Amino acid sequence: MPGPTANPILEIDGVTLAFGGVTALNGVSFEVAPGTITSVIGPNGAGKTSLFNTISGFYHPGAGHIRFRGDEITRLAAPLRAKLGLARTFQNIALFRGMTVLDNIKLGRHCHLHSGVLDALLYYGRARREEMRLRADIEERIIDFLEIDHIRNAPVAALSYGLQKRVEMARALAMQPQVLMLDEPVAGMNREETEDMARFILDVREEWGVTILMVEHDMGMVMDISDHVVVLNFGEVIAEGAPADVQADPEVIRAYLGSGNVAELRHRLRQAREAA
């Protein structure tokens, strides 16, 4: 495995997470270098989404540390992590389906707004100016960038699955992230939609300087655009490194394809039952 990054933007250090007798993460450690695309892969049930939920603050680990730009955030609430610069999308789309695309995107900036309750109720002065600046920024940068101007006033419920995924990414970008966490950004997409999303991810990194941490099952896309790949299996890191190195790792091949040894498979199933 590679040595530690000189100045990582995100550090996962010995993180362990358990639900009752089931250990979802067991001593997970890796670092994310600034300005890179780091992908977390692994078979179903490997602990990838649990890891994302722990980094973003929805779960608190039983052991280990999470550091963002060198600062400890392990026990920090999720909204405060978002304000620091950790934004994410979700495996299952989490948009407000009855609201328009524009209104959904604007909600992403809430953690950075400064207007008070009275300003918002009366909608004058600072609240109105802040709203106008927010709308201009979203329309001129994010909506144009993601090529969704034609649906800006459409209700989310009327959109295709692929466009909803793009809107969710737009809302995360509205949070002005330093690290953008994408949970299966191309799941359920056709080839054309997948290629478009891969292009947007690369452009976010290149043009906006945003670091990407991604969970994804599409191995073709992962290997094409990632700088660094971390492989989880049964809640543990079994390999990490450059995409080509990870692809050739025997432990990774075994995790995805199995060893062909029936006795070993039975032993693993017995271990899983005993752990449960």
Region label for 27, one of left (φ > 0), alpha (ψ between -120 and 50) or beta (otherwise): left
Q: What is the greatest pairwise CA distance in the chain?
A: 72
Q: Name the domain boundary from 159, 176, 193.
A: 176
67 closest CA partner among 145, 151, 147, 4: 4
156 closest CA partner among 164, 146, 148: 164
165 closest CA partner among 90, 229, 246: 90
- Judgement on whether residues 79 and 198 belong to the same structural domain of the protein: yes
Q: Name the domain boundary from 121, 152, 176.
A: 176
pTM of the full structure: 0.83
- Judgement on whether residues 50 and 186 belong to the same structural domain of the protein: yes
Per-residue confidence (pLDDT) for residue 2, from 0 to 100:
43
Q: Which range, of 15-29, 104-118, 234-248, averages the lowest pLDDT?
A: 104-118
Cβ neighbours, 10 Å, residue 189 = 20
Per-residue confidence (pLDDT) for residue 81, from 0 to 100:
94
Domain count, the chain: 2
Per-residue confidence (pLDDT) for residue 1, from 0 to 100:
40
Q: Residue 28 sits in a domain of what CATH number?
A: 3.40.50.300
Provide the 3-class DSSP secondary structure of residue 218: coil
Q: Name the domain boundary from 119, 146, 176.
A: 176
For 123, the domain range is 94-176
Give yes or no for residue 236 having a pLDDT over 90.
yes
Q: Which range, of 144-158, 221-235, 245-259, averages the lowest pLDDT?
A: 245-259
Q: How far is CA 214 from the centre of its chain?
A: 5
